[in-house]
Amino acid sequence: MKRQPQRAYAERFSRVLDFIESHLDEPLSVDRLSRVAHFSKFHFHRQFSHYVGVTPNRYVQLARLRRASYQLAFNALEPITDIALQAGFEHSESFSRAFRGVFGQSPRAFRKQPHWAAWRAQLQVVSSGELKTMQVRIVKVDPVTVAVLEHRGAPALIDDSVQRFIAWRRESGLSPVASSQTYGIAYDDPTTTAADDFRFDICGAVAAPVPANRHGVMTKTIPGGRCAVVRHKGSPDDISGSVYHLYRNSRNWPTCAPRAGCFSRDHGLLDRGDGAHSLDEQGPASQLAAGGCALRRRANYSPFNLAATRL
Alpha carbon distance 108, 117 (integer Å): 17
Whether 165 contacts 215, CB under 8 Å? yes
Domains along the sequence of the chain with CATH: 5-121 (1.10.10.60), 134-311 (3.20.80.10)
Alpha carbon distance 29, 218 (integer Å): 56
Q: The dihedral of CA 253, 259, 263, 264: what is its sign?
A: positive
Which pLDDT does position 192 carry in this prediction? Answer: 75
Per-residue pLDDT of the chain (311 residues; tens, 9 = 90+): 344 566 677 788 888 988 998 899 999 999 999 999 999 999 999 888 877 778 999 999 999 999 999 899 888 889 999 999 999 998 999 999 999 999 999 999 999 988 887 787 777 665 655 555 556 667 788 899 999 999 999 888 888 898 999 999 999 999 998 889 988 888 887 777 888 999 999 999 999 999 999 999 999 998 888 776 666 555 555 566 666 666 655 555 555 544 444 545 556 665 565 433 333 333 333 444 543 222 222 333 222 233 333 33
- pTM (predicted TM-score): 0.52
Alpha carbon distance 287, 275 (integer Å): 13
* Residue 81 main-chain phi, psi, to 5 deg: -60, -40
Which pLDDT does position 74 carry in this prediction? Answer: 84
Distances (CA, A) of 28 to 62, 87, 247, 279, 295: 13, 12, 28, 45, 40
Q: Which has the closest alpha carbon to 28: 67, 77, 82?
A: 67
SS3 106: coil
Name the helix (H) or strand (E) containing 62: helix 56-74
**Which residues lie closer than 8 Å to 8 by C-beta, 6 or more apart?**
none
Beta bridge partners of 147: 204, 219
